[in-house]
A and B are shown apart, each in its own frame.
Chain A
Amino acid sequence: MNAAKVLDVKGLACPMPIVKTKKAMQELESGDILEVQATDQGAKSDLTAWTKSGGHELMQETEENGVLTFWIKKE
């Protein structure tokens, strides 16, 4: 997937993944895809809920060796 930006929040704890995702998202254009890499296990629910609330689209999510990766398309 072609991400316009990759955000690395690995190792960071709540609430940082969501705060940084929001900041990164602000810099993107509508339709752009943001790739977020996180290790906080709560990020799965957090990013899913945040994406839904903001009207964005969670295109895909994967989990590999404890790293959660999300691709979010900006509304």
Chain B
Amino acid sequence: MSDKKKTTIVLFSGDYDKAMAAYIIANGAAAYDHEVTIFHTFWGLNALRKEEQVPVQKGFLEKMFAKMMPRGADKMGLSKMNFAGMGPKMIKKVMKKHQAMPFPQLAEMAQEQDVKLIACTMTMDLLGLKKDELIEDIDYAGVAAYIGDAEEGNINLFI
């Protein structure tokens, strides 16, 4: 077992701002040389979706879900002041001005820093998401794998 410290984050939310916060903390922890895990469940799974539509076999409800949910964090709304989609546009403008990293780059940096991205398979089934629809180089697991990481963890967050 490694003697590295561990940070584990549960990303439950499907809001742009919350996903951003989770990935900023993950990148910060990785810079502290922690082993970092982000466990994506429920709406947080959308952060792992590919931007493009992927043809997969789905039932009616699953198709509806797929249509209504954002493909990737960059398409998510804000948890506050979403203003029917204007909010994200405004915040991205402000982020640019302050040279804050937009989500796609934060995600790229997280993978570069070996942050372990996990998709919760049970909620993937609930939301009808298939592996082909999610980005490459991620792990698939359930609560036990998450607890396995978190029980040795030094920082544990639910976002």
A residues neighboring B (CB under 8 Å): 11-16, 18-19, 21-22, 50, 53-54
Residues of A within 8 A of B24 (CB): 14-15
Q: Do A21 and B100 contact each other (CB < 8 Å), given the known contacts A14-B24, A15-B24?
A: no
Q: Give the B interface residue count (CB, 8 A).
A: 13
Instruction: Give B101's nearest chain A residue, CB to CB.
Output: A16
Kindly list 17 other residue pairs between chains A and B, CB separation below 8 angstroms, not including A15-B101, A19-B113, A54-B32: A11-B99, A12-B99, A13-B98, A13-B99, A13-B100, A14-B24, A14-B100, A15-B24, A15-B27, A18-B31, A19-B28, A19-B30, A19-B31, A19-B109, A22-B30, A50-B32, A53-B32
How distant is A52 from chain B, measured CB to nearest CB, in Å?
Answer: 11
Q: What is the predominant secondary structure among interface residues of chain A facing chain B?
A: helix
Question: Measured between alpha carbons, how far is A55 from B40 in the docked complex, in Å?
Answer: 32
Q: State the 8 A-B residue pairs at the shortest beta-carbon distance, nearest first.
A: A22-B31, A13-B100, A15-B28, A18-B31, A15-B27, A19-B31, A15-B24, A11-B99
